[in-house]
Amino acid sequence: MSDAKYPSDSEVIMTEIVLPQHTNALGTIFGGTVMGWIDIAAAIAARRHSGAVCVTASVDELHFLRPLKQGDIVNIRARLTAVHRTSCEVNVVVTAENPAKNEKFKTTDATLTFVAIDDKGKPIPMPMLLSKTEEDKAHLANSKIRKEHRESLRKALLKKP
């Protein structure tokens, strides 16, 4: 396990553009396309932090707040909010720009969990996460609630037939 890191050390900023092949019959982006971009950005942030391959363990929350339309420029920001022994929580915020209208807006917010694995697929420890900004500290404090909810939900789902 390597040294502790700050969220800014592994932050990911991706930029995409909504092309015709990304849109449905209404001219808005397929949700699955946005979900794919979110998963990639979050996986890169988790790997940067851990130095290892990381796999998606869960998507706690994913909210589509506003539609993305063909021609919109999409900015995806992934940032670690917590680290547990072998896993990390990553918050991803998607914003968009419409240059023709000189407009910027938030479109999507998601929280994902990743597990670091070795070459045999076994979970391995992750470096600790340090906090220096008030935003980082708030995310870390709230992560305990999200982790408890994830664990409770997972147990309940495993019991279902």
Question: Could you state, in order of their start, the residue ranges of all structural domains in the chain?
Answer: 7-159
Task: Please state the pTM of the whole predicted model.
Answer: 0.89
Q: What is the pLDDT along the chain (161 residues), one digit of tens a residue?
A: 458 999 999 999 999 999 999 999 999 999 999 999 999 999 999 999 999 999 999 998 788 999 999 999 999 999 999 999 999 999 999 999 998 899 999 999 999 999 999 999 999 999 999 988 888 888 877 888 888 888 888 888 888 77
User: What's the CA gap between 95 and 66, in Å, rounded?
Assistant: 9
How far is the CA of 81 from the CAs of 14, 45, 68, in angstroms?
18, 11, 26
The domain 7-159 is classified under which CATH number: 2.40.40.20, 3.10.129.10, 3.90.550.10, 3.30.1050.10?
Answer: 3.10.129.10
